[in-house]
C-alpha cells in the first residue's frame, strides 16, 4: 500500500470540502503552466523529499511529469545536482533557490533570485516560489497525516 | 524595507493581490483568491481557531505583513489581542482553551523541522478534533504557509515591528 505523499494527498483531504478542492486545482495547475517545466518542478519535489529525509515521498511516482533519467534523479537525491554536468544553468538556479527556500525564505539571496529571473523572467520566479510552497506544504501535510494515522493505529 | 524581487502586472485592477507580483501568473492568482475565501468561509473549525493557526504560522515564517493582520471574521468570533499575545513559546502553560492549544500543536507539527507528529502531539490533537476538522485545518495551514513564505521570498517586506495592527476583511482578500 502506498503511503500518503504529496502526489496522492488530495484523496486524504477531500473531507475538508471546497478549500481542499481549490487547493487540488492549484496543485494541478502548477504541473501544466508555461513558466517552469514540470520536470524542473519535479527536481524541486525530489530536493525537498531529500531535505525532509522522507522515504515515502522519494518513492512516490509522479504521473504529472515524464520519468526523470536515473542519473539526474540520483544526483538530486544525493544532493549533487549543483555540481553535476547533467543539469542546465537554469535548473541549477532553480535548485539553489529551492534549497534556500526550504531552509528559510528569509535566507534567499538577491543573487539567487536574480539568477532565476535571468533564465525564467519575473513570472518564472513568481511561479517557482508559489510552486515551492505548494509542493513543500503537501509534503509536510502528508507527513503529519501519516504520523496521526500511525498514532491512531 | 528590502527591495521587491518582482513587480506586479503593468495593467492595474485595483485589487491588491492581483496588482501584486502574484498577478503575473493569471493561471493561479484567481484560484489562490478563491482558496483563501474557501479556507475562511467553508472551514470546519471556527474563524478564531483559524486565526490562531494563521498567526502561529506568521510568527514562525516571520512574515511582517501577516503578523500585523487580523481577519474580521476572527475578531467577530471572539479573537482578542490578549489571546493573540498568548500564541507564543509558552502557549502550553497559557490560559488558552485546550482546542486552541491543540490547534497550535497541529500547526507546529506542520511547521517543524522535520514536519510530523509525535505520539503526544497526535494524542493532543485527536482529543480535540475530528479527522474532518484536522483535514480542514491542514488545508488552512498549507494556504497560510505558502502565501506567507511567498510574501517573504518576493522581498519588499517592512522591518519587523514597524506595521500597526490592521484589520482585513475576508471578502477583500478572496475576490
Q: State the total domains in chain A.
A: 1
Q: What CATH number should be reported for the domain holding residue A44?
A: 1.20.1290
Residue A142 vs residues A4, A100, A150, B126, B127: alpha-carbon distances, Å? 6, 22, 12, 16, 20
In a domain, residue A61? The reply is yes
| Residue A125 pLDDT exceeds 90 | yes
Residue B146 C-alpha, separation from nearest chain A C-alpha, in angstroms? 4
CB contact under 8 A, A19 and B140: yes
Rg (CA), chain A: 15
Average pLDDT, chain B: 95
Calpha distance A122→A102 (Å, rounded): 20
CATH of domain B21-173: 1.20.1290.10
Q: Which residue range forms the structural domain that includes residue A63?
A: 35-152
Please count the residue pairs, one from chain A and one from chain B, whose beta carbons lie less than 8 angstroms apart.
157
In a domain, residue A58? The reply is yes
Residue A94 C-alpha, separation from nearest chain B C-alpha, in angstroms? 13
Q: Find the residue in A nearest to B127 (Cα).
A: A152
pLDDT of residue A153: 87
pLDDT of residue B2: 77
Average pLDDT, chain A: 97
In a domain, residue A14? The reply is no
Q: Are B106 and B138 in contact (CB under 8 A)?
A: yes
In a domain, residue A24? The reply is no
CB contact under 8 A, B31 and A148: no
| Residue B100 pLDDT exceeds 90 | yes
Residues of A in contact with B123 (CB under 8 A): 151
In a domain, residue A2? The reply is no
| Residue B48 pLDDT exceeds 80 | yes
Per-residue confidence at A1, pLDDT binned at 50, 70, 90? confident
Instruction: Give the number of other Cβ atoms within 10 Å of residue B168's Cβ.
Output: 16
In a domain, residue A56? The reply is yes
| Residue B129 pLDDT exceeds 90 | yes
In a domain, residue A54? The reply is yes
In a domain, residue A47? The reply is yes
In this prediction the pTM is 0.97
Amino acid at each position: 500500500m502506498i503511503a500518503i505523499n504529496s502526489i496522492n494527498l488530495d484523496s486524504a483531504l477531500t473531507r475538508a470540502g471546497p478549500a481542499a478542492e481549490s487547493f487540488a486545482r492549484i496543485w494541478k495547475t502548477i504541473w501544466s503552466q508555461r513558466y517552469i517545466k514540470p520536470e524542473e518542478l519535479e527536481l524541486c519535489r525530489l530536493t525537498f523529499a531529500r531535505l525532509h529525509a522522507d522515504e515515502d515521498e522519494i518513492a512516490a511516482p509522479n504521473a504529472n511529469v515524464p520519468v526523470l533519467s536515473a542519473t539526474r534523479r540520483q544526483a538530486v537525491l544525493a544532493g549533487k545536482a549543483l555540481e553535476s554536468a547533467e543539469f542546465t544553468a537554469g535548473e541549477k538556479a532553480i535548485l539553489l533557490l529551492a534549497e534556500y527556500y526550504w531552509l528559510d525564505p528569509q535566507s534567499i539571496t538577491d543573487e539567487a533570485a536574480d539568477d532565476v529571473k535571468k533564465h525564467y523572467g519575473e513570472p518564472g520566479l513568481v511561479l517557482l516560489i508559489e510552486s515551492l510552497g505548494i509542493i513543500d506544504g503537501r509534503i509536510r501535510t502528508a507527513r503529519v497525516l501519516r504520523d496521526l494515522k500511525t498514532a491512531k493505529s | 524595507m528590502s527591495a521587491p524581487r518582482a513587480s506586479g502586472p503593468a495593467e492595474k485592477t485595483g485589487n491588491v493581490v492581483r496588482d501584486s507580483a502574484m498577478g503575473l501568473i493569471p493561471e493561479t492568482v484567481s484560484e489562490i483568491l478563491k482558496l483563501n475565501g474557501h479556507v475562511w468561509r467553508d472551514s470546519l473549525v471556527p474563524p478564531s481557531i483559524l486565526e490562531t493557526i494563521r498567526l502561529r504560522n506568521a510568527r514562525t515564517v516571520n512574515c511582517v505583513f501577516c503578523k500585523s493582520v487580523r481577519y474580521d471574521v476572527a475578531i467577530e468570533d471572539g479573537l482578542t489581542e490578549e489571546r493573540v499575545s498568548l500564541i507564543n513559546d509558552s502557549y502550553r502553560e497559557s490560559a488558552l482553551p485546550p482546542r486552541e492549544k491543540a490547534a497550535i500543536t497541529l500547526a507546529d507539527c506542520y511547521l517543524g523541522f522535520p514536519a510530523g507528529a509525535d505520539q503526544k502531539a497526535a494524542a493532543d490533537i485527536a482529543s480535540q478534533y475530528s479527522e474532518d476538522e484536522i483535514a480542514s485545518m491542514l488545508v488552512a495551514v498549507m494556504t497560510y504557509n505558502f502565501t506567507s513564505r511567498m510574501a517573504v521570498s518576493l522581498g519588499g517586506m517592512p522591518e519587523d515591528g514597524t506595521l500597526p495592527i490592521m484589520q482585513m476583511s475576508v471578502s477583500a482578500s478572496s475576490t
